[in-house]
Amino acid sequence: MSARAIPEATVQRLPVYLRILVDMAGRSTTTISSEALAASAGVNSAKVRKDLSFLGSYGTRGVGYDVDCLIHQISRALGLTHDWSTAIVGLGNLGQALAHYGGFAQRGFRIAALLDVDRDLVGQRMAGLEVLHVDEIERVVKEEEIAIGILAVPERSAQEVADRMVAAGIGSILNFAPTLLSVPDHVSLRKVDLSIELQVLSFYEQRRQAEATLGERGQHGERGEQPEPT
Amino acid sequence: MSARAIPEATVQRLPVYLRILVDMAGRSTTTISSEALAASAGVNSAKVRKDLSFLGSYGTRGVGYDVDCLIHQISRALGLTHDWSTAIVGLGNLGQALAHYGGFAQRGFRIAALLDVDRDLVGQRMAGLEVLHVDEIERVVKEEEIAIGILAVPERSAQEVADRMVAAGIGSILNFAPTLLSVPDHVSLRKVDLSIELQVLSFYEQRRQAEATLGERGQHGERGEQPEPT
DNA sequence: TCCTGTGAATTCGTTCACAGCC
DNA sequence: GGCTGTGAACGAATTCACAGGA
Domain assignment of residue A224, yes or no: no
Same structural domain, A91 and A20: no
The answer on pLDDT for B118 being more than 90 is yes
Q: Percent of chain B having pLDDT more than 70?
A: 90
The answer on pLDDT for A134 being more than 70 is yes
pLDDT of residue A106: 83
Same structural domain, B90 and B190: yes
Same structural domain, B54 and B115: no
Q: Tell how strand A146-151 and strand A172-175 pair up.
A: parallel
Contact A205 B188 (CB under 8 A): yes
Q: Percent of chain B having pLDDT more than 90?
A: 86
The answer to whether the C-beta of A223 is closer than 7 A to strand C is no
Of A43, A62, A77, which residue constitutes the final position of a domain?
A: A77
Of B24, B59, B78, which residue constitutes the final position of a domain?
A: B78
Same structural domain, A33 and A110: no
Average pLDDT estimate for B1-22: 88
Chain B nearest C-alpha distance from A206 (Å): 5
In single-letter form, the type of residue at position A69 comes to C
Structural domain boundaries enclosing B163 = 84-194
Q: Give chain A's end-to-end CA distance (angstroms, integer).
A: 34
The answer to whether the C-beta of B50 is closer than 7 A to strand D is yes
List of residues 6+ apart from A224 with CB closer than 8 A? B188, B189, B190, B191
**Per-residue pLDDT band at B213 (split at 50, 70, 90):** low
Q: What is the pLDDT of residues A153-186, one digit of tens each?
A: 999 999 999 999 999 999 999 999 999 999 999 9
Same structural domain, A89 and A182: yes
Domain assignment of residue B208, yes or no: no
Question: What is the pTM assigned to this prediction?
Answer: 0.92
Q: What is the pLDDT of residues A70-95, one digit of tens each?
A: 999 999 999 999 999 999 999 999 99
Higher pLDDT pick, B163 / A213: B163
Domain assignment of residue B126, yes or no: yes
Cα–Cα distances in Å, from A92 out to A117, A195, B154? 11, 17, 22
Q: Straight-line distance from CA B61 to C1' C21, in Å?
A: 6
pLDDT of residue B106: 82
pLDDT of residue B218: 41
Give me the count of residues in chain A.
Answer: 230
Q: What is the pLDDT of residues B133-191, one digit of tens each?
A: 999 999 999 999 999 999 999 999 999 999 999 999 999 999 999 999 999 999 999 99
The answer on pLDDT for B222 being more than 60 is no
The answer on pLDDT for B1 being more than 60 is no
Contact A200 B109 (CB under 8 A): no
What is the average pLDDT score of chain B?
91
pLDDT of residue B210: 84
Contacts across the A-B interface (CB distance below 8 Å)? 266
Contact B12 A228 (CB under 8 A): no
Chain C bases closer than 7 angstroms to a protein Cβ:
1-7, 12-17, 20-22
**Per-residue pLDDT band at A104 (split at 50, 70, 90):** confident
pLDDT of residue B211: 74
Chain D bases closer than 7 angstroms to a protein Cβ:
1-7, 12-17, 20-22
d(CA A120, CA A133): 10
d(CA B12, CA B6): 10
pLDDT of residue B230: 23
pLDDT of residue A3: 43
Q: Straight-line distance from CA B3 to C1' C9, in Å?
A: 29
Same structural domain, B57 and B89: no
pLDDT of residue B228: 30
**Residues β-bridged to residue B87:** B113, B149
What is the average pLDDT score of chain A?
91
As for how many domains chain A has, the answer is: 2
Give the one of A104, A172, A219 whose C-beta lies nearest to B201's C-beta: A172
Listed range (A45-59, A97-111, B77-91, B210-224) with the worst mean pLDDT = B210-224
Contact B204 A188 (CB under 8 A): yes
Average pLDDT estimate for B47-56: 98
Same structural domain, A71 and A90: no
Q: Straight-line distance from CA A4 to C1' D22, in Å?
A: 27
Listed range (A48-57, A184-193, A203-212) with the worst mean pLDDT = A203-212
Domain assignment of residue A190, yes or no: yes
The answer to whether the C-beta of B34 is closer than 7 A to strand D is yes
Give the one of B40, B86, B185 whose C-beta lies nearest to A219's C-beta: B185
Same structural domain, A130 and A89: yes
pLDDT of residue A103: 85
Q: Straight-line distance from CA A163 to C1' D6, in Å?
A: 39
The answer on pLDDT for B226 being more than 50 is no
Same structural domain, B123 and B55: no
Q: Percent of chain A having pLDDT more than 90?
A: 86
Domain assignment of residue B218, yes or no: no
Same structural domain, A90 and A152: yes
Higher pLDDT pick, A113 / A103: A113
pLDDT of residue B229: 29
Same structural domain, A162 and A102: yes
What are the E-state strand segments in chain B?
Answer: 31-32, 59-60, 64-66, 84-89, 109-116, 125-126, 129-133, 146-151, 172-175, 188-191
Domain assignment of residue B1, yes or no: no
**Per-residue pLDDT band at A105 (split at 50, 70, 90):** confident
In a mutational test of the A interface, the residue from B188, B220, B225 whose CB has the highest number of chain A CBs within 10 Å is B188
The answer on pLDDT for B81 being more than 80 is yes
Q: Straight-line distance from CA A1 to C1' C2, in Å?
A: 22
Q: Percent of chain A having pLDDT more than 70?
A: 90
Residue nearest to nucleotide D1 (CA to C1'): B62
Domain assignment of residue B223, yes or no: no
Q: Tell how strand B84-89 and strand B146-151 pair up.
A: parallel
Give the one of B194, B196, B224 whose C-beta lies nearest to A189's C-beta: B224
For residue B30, the domain's CATH number is 1.10.10.10
Give the one of A40, A84, A195 whose C-beta lies nearest to B104's C-beta: A195
